[in-house]
Chains A and B, each alone.
Chain A
Amino acid sequence: MIRWIALASLSLALAACSRETTEAAPRSVIVLGVDGMDPQFLEAHWDALPNLDKLRREGGFERLGTTVPPQSPVAWSTVITGMDPGGTGIFDFIRRDPKTYMPLSSMAETTPPTHTLAIGPYTIPLSGGGVRTLRAGTAFWQLLSDAHIPSTIIRMPVNFPPVECEAQSLAGMGTPDMQGSFGTFTFFTNDPEEKRTQVAGGVVAHVKITNGRVVLPVDGPANGFRRDHAVVKAVLTAYIDPTAPAARFDIDGQEILLKQGEWSDWLTANFRLLPGIKTDTGIFRLYLQQVHPYLRLYMSPVNIDPDDPDLPISTPANYSRTLAQALGRYYTQGIPEESGAYREGFLTRAEYLEQSHKVLSDSLRMLKYQLDNFHGGLLFYYFSSIDQNSHMLWGKYDSDLLDIYRGVDKGVGEAMQKADRTGATLIVMSDHGFASFKRAVHLNTWLMREGFLTLDNPENTSDQAGFPHVDWSKTQAYAIGLNGIYVNQDGREGSGVVSPADKQALLDRIAQRLLALRDPKNGEQVVDRVYFPDKVFRGRNLKESPDLFVGFRRGYRASWQTALGAVPKDIIDDNTDAWIGDHCMATDEVPGSLLSNRRLVLADPHLYDIPATILKAFGVAKDREMIGHSVL
């Protein structure tokens, strides 16, 4: 009898233990990645940001060290892998083809199929081809996945195509539109005053209205099934009312009406690549800016349809569809804010802000969905809104920018509530801060004036990209991207002239003179620091690295012309662009922000400490190449 009682007691005790094990809350970490959230702006506006303020009071707030250079793809690659840029191999938005000196995307590359079958005008891919990320290293959620810890990674930059593993993920910055660009808008008009056809980030389509009807071509992808790779088009038909400020739009069986000044919801365009066999779908939105006397219609870049994506934008592949079915269609383009159209004057600030707030409210809706469906493990969620709006509003339209910060603060509040309910660790971090961008430095022009770069004719300075007049046989160094200078090195560059033995001496001379550069307008020092990759990076994956990074002082940045390899007339110009805030400066000038609901114990935390922190929270060992430490 006693034996039976003992056995029963043991069974009950085991059952109780077992229940306790299964009911215990799993370890949970929520990370909100807020691109561009500036610590100084936060400090100046704690009163208006109650949730962020509460978070820093309850846990901690620190400046977060950023990368050299402090550019988003570079910084987020470090967050993903825990390595510095010398490990990730991402050094700028732009890299260059050393053979042709032409700019290329640094984040991903598309490779054509290796075998094809040609039939008439068509070419059928048989094997190979695709798109691949250029970022090296292991993503921290791959390590979590290997340890069977559930992870959801939403809109992580430089994660296109997304890392293949068991985690649920949606690609972020770097995801192209249907044309394969970072976002190409179209502006349709019959306004004779509008003379432009091509602008940065978009095209102007001049249209003719007949009996109130106008056919508007919607450009899709280049057709990989055709030998000529002709762009596939869908047809949007607009019917303009003869007197009322409104129009009707028909495309592929969808019909919408817009009044002047209204944004449409998402419309779907079908791009028929192989009629009856292969159709890709894209989604876009319209803004009917004006109807009479002239039509002015803005069409957003055509995004990859999350409900039926033709490129890998999520893991598992159908996850983007799951989200679309739960939330409706959403932006898939890496940078969804219509800053390009605002900069080119096609959208007013009010119109741009209206669209930006739509992006933010869509983002908050998706965050709420993720928080509602978060049951332990890791949730990473990325916000683009503060970064893109800081570029447009910094230092001039603070109250508009504060509205955007308030929206993100609301999302932080929801994450805090979830963390309070579940005992989750909450980390809110940004990749860099912000500063004014008042003066644009033409680095190639400076190199030319200093005798490091030579044109075929000194008069041939211009804004034309791609170094059209550079005499490479007499050029020692050139700039491309937003912080990088490359030596025209013999054996590496297509027309290299500097021997590897002379390279460091040349770089030292360039660095010395850069630090001595003064702004002719006010006498201020332009460059705060210069960085040599082999000195600042621990990683040795330096094949694509510039040979020298320019760390500008606050207020200065490399010009847009520099980024694409142009050599304009003057060394420094006033920045007259609507893009008035930036962060591509000296690293110490623009640190990011770090907040948590736990006490921050690490001194001088850096971006590469974030993945180390996450892995430690789950008791998962770091990858050998990760250099950070837990901040908690």
Chain B
Amino acid sequence: MEKPLYSLTALFSTPDALMHAVEATVKAGYTKYDVHSPYPVHGMERAMRLKTSPLGYFALAFGLLGAVSAVGFMTWVTLIDYPLVIGGKPFWSWPAFVPIAFEITVLLASVLTVVAMFVIFFKFPNNSHPLHDTPYMKRVSSDGFGISIQREDPLFDEAGVRQFLASVEGTDIAPVYFEEDPADHGQKLFDLRFVGLLAGVAIVVAGTTYFSLNSLMYVQPFSWMMEQAKQKPQAPSLLFKDGIGMRPPVQGSVARGFLPYAFKGRPEDAGKMLANPLLPTAAVLDRGRSSYLTFCSPCHGNFGRGDSRLAGQFPNPPTLHSEKVRNWPDGSLYHVITEGQNVMPSYAAQITRDNRWAVVHYIRVLQRAHFAKESDLK
């Protein structure tokens, strides 16, 4: 089968001869032609009647895109997503955004313009164009100047074009054929098979990496400070003879906030000698209330009336509003919470010293509220 014709080509020895030939080509009315030279020849765009390249508008659009998105992003971050005061400046410190906005503008404008030129304007990459690997191409890529008039030109007829090229002193006039199907010589970048190949490569590489790093060999590239030369609680240690990492405190050491209780088994003395060290401020009463509701209310009830839901299952817890309790000094209440009394256990382990005193204050509040006088309401 005869290969389909793509174009007729002719070579010229000097840029001047090429320029004349191009002017004649335009004059003759050919439109589907191309001019090839190893470097841009000055004035060729005028001779070929090419319109000014619109790439400048592309660059403007990409640059504006970069500027707007950079400023917009920084504005969103500093005003909406995570406002932070930095150096006492306003949140929207626009002068400080100028350098990054400028860099992003330049970045997008230059990279995208080049990509647009190659991919959209030139339909590159395309290595299957019929002109590739022809003797003609080998000449024009080094020192030749050439014109190629394509068959799809409406005025094309092989003999006529041959004659025309000879008349403008073209040499080496030669036909260029399509390698295969003419429909199959365009840009292949978005070809389904190519995109599929890329996707396949991505999946295989990602999968192999994942498998080999996670299953084949366990690699922990960086331990993020999780591995540290320190003794952790409850962990053994080779440093000590008994192999235990945690050491008992030195004899007689006292943990912070845990002074031994001086009135063990001496409730009368406690009542006489102890005074509440805290002032009944709102904060102290809040703490007292919180501890009371957590530890005391299950038996004594939320208001100290001894009416909790445990009533009837135990020996009934007593009310805190009895004559006896109301007349106790603060120290006695503290002593009972600390030591326990009858079936009530000690709460020293559950409630810190200060919070026990706060509970005492809160019980006084409950008592006063229970027997509220007219004057209290004023």
| A complexed with B | no
